Structure 1
C-alpha cells in the first residue's frame, strides 16, 4: 500500500532503475547501478544513498507535506478489532453477524476477549496521544508520534518498528541480530527540540501480578535493545547523539527505577502512565513533560532541520509500516487522513458479500414466515440502518429458494430512482440467478400522489402490470409474487397489496423508507431499524442534528450493541463568505469558484483523491459526491441561473479534478451512479469519465452512499439549510468523510 517499492530481502534493487546524471549510488549491493553508473530516484537497494536523499524526500513530501509546520500522529485514528460470526441462512446463503460483548463472554472466546482488552487499552493510549498532538499544535511544537501494535498481540508475528528503521541503514547480514519480536506496542515520538521518546506499552491481559512483573522486565529489556539499535544503526549517520528518552506505559513497580535510569530523588511513578490516568488530561500532560525533560547526562537536543527530517524519514518509510486491525482486512497501514477515510469507508460501506449485520437486523431475515400466508414487511428507520441491505438479503433468499423472479418497484418520483436501480443491480450480482431473475418496474408515473390513487392513464398500465404478476404467481411453484420497494411510498405499497389480494394472489413484499406515512392497514407490518451501520459515529452525530430527527419526523438512532471499530474522521468545514476573501457575491457556494478551489485542495492534498500510485487503499474520484438541496444539475441549465453549479464545476476542473453532472431527469446517468459503472471515456467530460467526482442534487442520489460527501448549503446561512435538509439527505450518504461548505457572512 505504500507509494514506493520496498527494498528486497537480498539487498538488491527491487525494480531496476534508469541511469541519470544526478547522483552516484553508494550501495555495493545495487546490481543495476554496478560499475560506477549513476542511480536514479527509483533505486531501492539497501543502503543506497540516493534512496534516502531523493526517494524518501518524495515520500515525505507526498504523505507529510506539512512536516515542517505541524505535528503528526500515525495512525490518525484508532481501530478496534471487529469480531464476527458466520450464520447460514436458507437457500445456502450465509452472512456475517457482528459479535456483541455479551456473545464473546458467553462463548468463552479467549482470543476475542484478549484482543478486546488490548483494544480498550490501545484506544485510551490513542486518546492520550491525540491530546498531546493537539497541545503540540497549539504550542507550535513539531513532532511525529507513531504507535505500532504488534501483529503478535493478535496471534501473528511481526518485527518491531525499530528493526524496520534499522534495516534502512544497515547491511542485510546484520538484520537477524536486530530482530525484536516481543509482544509490546511501540510508541515512538520524534520531537523537533527534545529528541526521541521510546515507550513500550504492556497490554494488561493478565491479572496475575507475577505475570505483569515479568512483562515489565521484558519491556525494559526490549527498550534497552531498541535504544541500542537506534543509536548504532538508525541515527549514527544522521546525528552524533540525539536525546533518547525511554518510558513504559501501564506498570507501577518501584523495582525498575534503576534499570530505567530514574534520577535519585525522582519518583518512578512520574515516568509511568496508568490506565486510570489516561482520561486525566492534567496527569497526561505532567507525564509527558516529565518524560521529555529528564536529565540523562549526555543527551542533547537535535539541532538542525535536516536532522529532524532525516530521522522522520527513516521511521515512516514504506518498510516500517504502522498497522492496525480491521474486520475487512487483517492489517491496514494508516499513515495519514486519506488512508483513514478510505479504511473507514471500506469498513462501513461494504458490499452485500462482505457486510456484517447487527444481531437485531439478522433476526428479521431469520424469522421465517408461514409459507401459506403473506410476508409483508415495512422496514422503518433513520438513514444508514441497513434497511436496503435487508431488502437485498431477502431478495437473495427468495431467489435461492426458487421464487423465479423478484420485482423491484420504484414507487417514488426522483428520490426513489437511484435506490431502485441499486437494489435491482445488487440483487442480480449477488444472487447470480440470471438477468431475467430481477425485473425493475417504474410505477411512480402511474400514481397520483395528491389523491393517493392511480391516474386515469396510469390505471391502465397498472392493471397490465398486475396481470403480469398474477400470471407469474400462477406459473410459480410458490404460488406467490415477490416484490421489493426501497424508499417506498406506503400508500402505493398498500394499494398493490390490496389489489393482489383481491385477485387471490399471495404477496411477499418487503419495503423500506426513512420518512414514511404508513397507512393503518400496514401498521402491524412495520419493523423498526435504528442502529447505524453505514456511517461512523462522527457522521452519525452530524446527521442527528437534522431538524427531522430532532422533531422525531425520522426515528432517532439507537446505541448499537457492538461498538464501531473507529469514531471516524471529523467533519471538515469550509466557509463561503458571500463577497469577501476572494469569494463570489451571493449566498450560493455552488456559484463560487473560490469555494471549489478550497474543496479541491482538501480532496487533492488532504485526502489524496485520484492519486495514481502504488498506494492501497486509495480514494478515487468516483468515491466523492458533491451535493446540495437546491442545485440544478441539468446539463442544459444556463450558466447564469442561480441554481446552476457551473462555476463550482469550473473551479474543480481548473484544479485538475474531473467532474460529471447528473440530472434528476437522466435515468441512464442515475443508473450508472447507482451501479457505479461508467464508460471508459475521457475524464472531464460533462457526463462521462470512468473516474470523476459526481455533482448532483441530493434528492437524485437518495439511497446511495459514497466514502466522501461534499455538501453545499443553499444560502440560508448559519447551518439552517444543512439542518433543514442537508444533514439528513446529504451527510447520511457518507460512509466516512463529510465536507460541509457553509454560507457565512
Structure 2
C-alpha cells in the first residue's frame, strides 16, 4: 500500500490498489463507509468516590432534568494496560459536548436509513459504496498527500462570497458501479423523542420547512460532487433523493400539492415531471421498516425499497463507468488522502473506513469507564455488604474492581475469591486489574493494601466451604475483612448456590467487620445479609449484539433481571451479526467444534476483519484488532487441544475447529473441558493467560470457563455437553448459549448455525 512517504509517486493505479487492499470485494459487493454510524453520546464527567478515577456518567440530553451530585473530575490518572477492564481516553480532561435531543433523533435516523440501504444492496447484490455524513472539507485534505492531489478538483475551487461549498456535508453519497452517483439528504422530521407516548405525525408546515432546506442542500451537494468527478468521468450520471423515514408518501405529496413553489423546487431538483413522480423518487416511511425494529429488514420492506430503487437509481446504466473509473472515484472519496472521520465526544479525530476498524473503535468506546447515576450513587453510599445482580454487560465486575481499588487505597488487603471453576477466570481478571493498578499508580498511598487470591471448588467439594472460611478468617486485620466475590451464584437449584450462601453466612458470623461485595447474573436466593443492587442498564455491549442476548434474558426473567433503557444511546448500534452455516460437503461432524471446515471459515471471517494484521492501519485509524480480542465459544464438552502422553506423543488430536483455525495460520489457545480432565496444570496456566489476555492468541473455549470475561469479537459455536445437557430442549440450549456465550461479546458477534438433525446430517461424518 502506498503511504505518505511515497505521495509524489501516487497515480491512478496506486489509488486503485489502495481501494482493493482496504475493500477486497470492491467490484462485487456493497460497502458502507464508515461501516457503522457512531452516535453522539450524552456524558458528564465525574470522579468515582473513594478511588480518584475519572469516569464518564450517562445523563439525559439537554432540556431534560439536570444531573446533580456528580463529584468533580480528579486529576489522578488511571494506569494503562493491554488487558484493562476499561480503556484509556486520548484526552482524559476533555469536556464532552452538550448533546441535544435533536442529535439523538438525527443519529437514529442516519443509522435507520444506512442499515436499510446496506440490506438493500446486499439483497440485490449491488456493487456500490454508501458514504454517510461526507464532509466536503475532508476531501483530499491529508497534508501528506498534498503533492499527489494538488492538480485534482477541490470543493474550495467553487467557493464564492455567498456560498462556501467546502463547508458543506452530504448525508449520503452512493457511488454505484453501473448507475453512477446518488446524493441523498436526510431529515429526521417526524421522529418522536425517546420514550414519547402515542407519537403524532409531524405537522405539514414542519415537513415543508425541512424539505425546503433539504432541496437547497441537495443542489449544493450536486454541484460539488459533479465538480469532484469532472476529471475522472465528465458527464457522469448524478441523481438526488430525499430520505424522510418518518414522513409518509401521502403526507409528502399533500405538502407539495399545497405549496406550488416548493413543488417546483423539488421536481426541478429531482428531475421529476410532476408531484407523483417526485414522491416516487423520495424514500419515505412507506419504504422503510418501522423505527422500533428498523434492523429487521423484512422481505416486504426489501420489496418496497427495491421499487423505490428502480424508480430512482436502477432505471438506466451509465456507460461512462468502467471498473477502473469506478475504483478511481471511490479512491478519491475513501482513500487515505481523504479524511473519513467519525464523531468523537472528546474532539480527537478518529478515522474509520473498514469493518475491522469499526469493530476496534466501537469496542474501545464500549470499554470506556462509563457509569450510570445509580452506580455512582452506590459507590458514594459505600455499603459494607452488597450483591450486584443483573444481566450481562451492565458493569457489575467494573464496580467490583472500583470498590476493591478503594479498599486498597485505604490500606486494606483485598481477598479475591473464586468458589468454583466457572468463576476462576473472572476472579483472576479482577485480581489482575487490582494488582496492575497498585504497581502502576504514580502516587501510591503510604501503606497500600495487598491483593490476595483464593481459589476453591464448591461444586465438587463441600469441604472447600469450611476451608474457605478458615483461610479468609485468618486474613482478618484490625477486625475487618474485605472480600470480592465475582460470578457468584446463590441459586438453590445449583450445587454451588447454597454453599456460596453458607460461605457468606459463616464469614458474617465470624467477622463482624466483614466488607463483602458479590456479583452475579441471577437475582434468586440472594443471602439476606447482602443488600441486592440490581444493575440493568447495558453499558458494555453494542445493541446489535444486545438484541441477540436480550432474547435469552427475556426468557429467563424469573432468575435474571431484564435490561432497562438509560435514555441515552450506545456509542454505535454495531455491525450486523455475521452468520455462518455448519452445512455442506466440506463440513464434517454433528457440531461445528468437530469440523475442520468450520474452523477455516471462521478464520476467513476473522481475517476479513483484520484480526492480527498488526501495524498496517492508516494514520489516525484505531489500533487493529489483535488475536487476543477474539473468543470462540462452544458448550460442547468434546472441545480439546492435542492430548499428549508423558513422552510428549499426541494420543488424541485437537478438535476439528481448532485444526481448521491453525491451518489458516491463527495462533490458538484452547481452554476446553477435556483439558481440565487430562492436563489440569496447563488448564490452570491457560485460565490465567486468558483472564489477563497475556498472550496474543485466539481463545477457543468451553463456555463455562470464561464467565465474566469480554472480547470485542465472539464466535458462538452450538454444541452439547454430554453430561449436563441430557434431555434439555433446543430452546433451553439456545437460551444458555446466548446468555453465557453471546453475552461475552461487546462488538462483533459471529454465529454458526447448525441444520436440524436429518439422515443426511447424521451420516455426514
Does 1:81 find its partner at 2:79?
no
Q: Could you say if the C-alpha distance between residues 263 and 84 of structure 1 is closer, same or farther in structure 2, counting changes exceeding 3 Å? A: closer
Once the two structures are overlaid, the 10-residue window that deviates more, 425-434 or 106-115, is 106-115
Distance 1:107 1:553 in 2: 34
**Structure 2 SS opposite 1:44:** helix
1:711 aligned residue: 716
**TM-score, normalised on structure 1?**
0.76
SS at 2:580's partner residue?
A: strand
Contact 1:148-1:161 at 8 Å conserved across structures: no
Determine the structure 1 residue equivalent to 2:437: 430
> Taking structure 1 as reference, are residues 648 and 248 closer, same or farther at Cα in structure 2, changes over 3 Å only?
closer
Unmatched 5+ residue regions in structure 1? 6-13, 16-42, 151-157, 370-374, 475-479, 679-690
Tell me, yes or no, if structure 1 residue 441 matches structure 2 residue 453.
yes
Instruction: Note closer, same or farther for the CA distance 1:247–1:640 as it changes in structure 2 (3 Å cut).
Output: same
Matched, 1:559 2:565: yes
Deviation at 1:734, TM superposition (A): 0.7
Q: Which shows bigger deviation, 627-636 or 653-662?
A: 627-636
Written as runs of structure 1 = structure 2, the 5 A alignment for 1:400-479 is 400=409, 402-412=410-420, 414-430=421-437, 432=441, 433=444, 437-445=449-457, 447=458, 451=462, 454=464, 459=467, 462-469=469-476, 472-474=477-479
* Cα separation, 1, equivalents of 2:114 and 2:500: 53
Question: Structure 1 residue 521 and structure 2 residue 528: aligned?
Answer: yes
Q: Deviations over 1:617-638 (max 9, x none)?
A: 2111111112212244465368
Distance 2:586 2:333 in 1: 40
Structure 1 residues 559-708: aligned runs within 5 Å: 559-577=565-583, 580-584=584-588, 586-615=589-618, 616-617=621-622, 618-629=624-635, 630-633=637-640, 636=643, 645-662=654-671, 663-664=675-676, 665=680, 666-678=683-695, 691-708=696-713
What secondary structure sits across from 1:120 in the alignment? helix
Q: Counterparts of 1:329-348 in structure 2 under 5 Å?
A: 330-348=348-366
Residue 366 (structure 1) aligns with: 380
Is the contact between residue 302 and residue 308 of structure 1 (CA under 8 Å) also seen in structure 2? no
Residue 426 to residue 500, structure 1, CA distance change in 2 (3 Å): same
Query: Per the alignment, do residues 381 and 328 of structure 1 end up closer, same or farther by CA in structure 2, a change over 3 Å counting?
Result: farther
Checking the alignment, whether the CA contact within 8 Å between 1:168 and 1:314 is kept in structure 2 is: no
CA deviations on 1:164-222 (whole Å, 9 max, x unpaired) are 89996542897853574435334211122221223445677999999869855752563
Give unmatched runs, 5+ long, in structure 2: 69-94, 160-164, 191-201, 245-251, 257-261, 291-300, 491-497, 722-727, 756-760
Structure 2 partner of 1:106: 65
Query: Structure 2 length as normaliser, TM-score?
Result: 0.74
1:20 aligns with: none
Q: Which residue of 1 is the match for residue 13 of structure 2? A: 53
Change (3 A) 1:521 1:262: closer
Alignment of 1:106-505 (within 5 A): 106-107=65-66, 116-148=101-133, 150=135, 159-161=137-139, 169-171=149-151, 176-177=156-157, 180-201=165-186, 215=213, 219=217, 222-223=220-221, 225-230=223-228, 234-236=229-231, 238-247=232-241, 253-254=262-263, 256-257=265-266, 260=269, 262=271, 265=274, 288-292=309-313, 301-327=319-345, 330-348=348-366, 350=367, 354-369=368-383, 375-400=384-409, 402-412=410-420, 414-430=421-437, 432=441, 433=444, 437-445=449-457, 447=458, 451=462, 454=464, 459=467, 462-469=469-476, 472-474=477-479, 480-490=480-490, 491-492=498-499, 494-503=501-510, 505=512
d(CA) in 1 for partners of 2:572, 2:707: 25
The structural deviation recorded for 1:510 is 0.4
SS in 2 for 1:521: coil
Shift of the 511–4 alpha-carbon distance from structure 1 to 2, 3 Å rule, reads: farther
Task: After TM superposition, give the deviation of residue 700 of structure 1 in Å.
Answer: 1.5
Distance 1:217 1:86 in 2: 39
Q: How much does 1:126 deviate? A: 3.7
Q: How many residues align?
A: 650
In structure 2, what is the Cα distance between the partners aligned to 1:596 and 1:163? 42
Separation in 2, partners of 1:647, 1:213? 58
In structure 1, C-alpha distance between the alignment counterparts of 2:47 and 2:565, rounded to whole Å: 26
Q: What is the rounded CA distance, in whole Å, between the counterparts of 2:641 and 2:326 in structure 1?
A: 52
Q: Is the 8 A contact 1:160 1:186 kept in 2?
A: no
**Cα offset, 1:58, TM superposition:** 2.6
C-alpha displacement of 1:102: 5.8
Residues 621-630 or 486-495, more deviating: 486-495
User: Secondary structure of 2:386's match?
Assistant: strand
Name the CA shift for 1:443/1:559 in 2 (closer, same or farther; >3 Å): same
Structure whose alpha-carbon radius of gyration is higher:
1
CA RMSD of aligned residues (A): 4.0
Secondary structure in 2 matching 1:429: helix
8 A contact 1:184–1:203 mirrored in 2: no
Q: For the Cα contact (< 8 Å) 2:643–2:654, is it kept in 1? A: no
| CA shift in 2, pair 1:242/1:306, >3 Å | same
Post-superposition offset of 1:393? 1.6
1:80 Cα offset (Å)? 1.3
Identify the residue that residue 683 of structure 1 maps to in structure 2: none
Deviation (angstroms), 1:670: 1.5
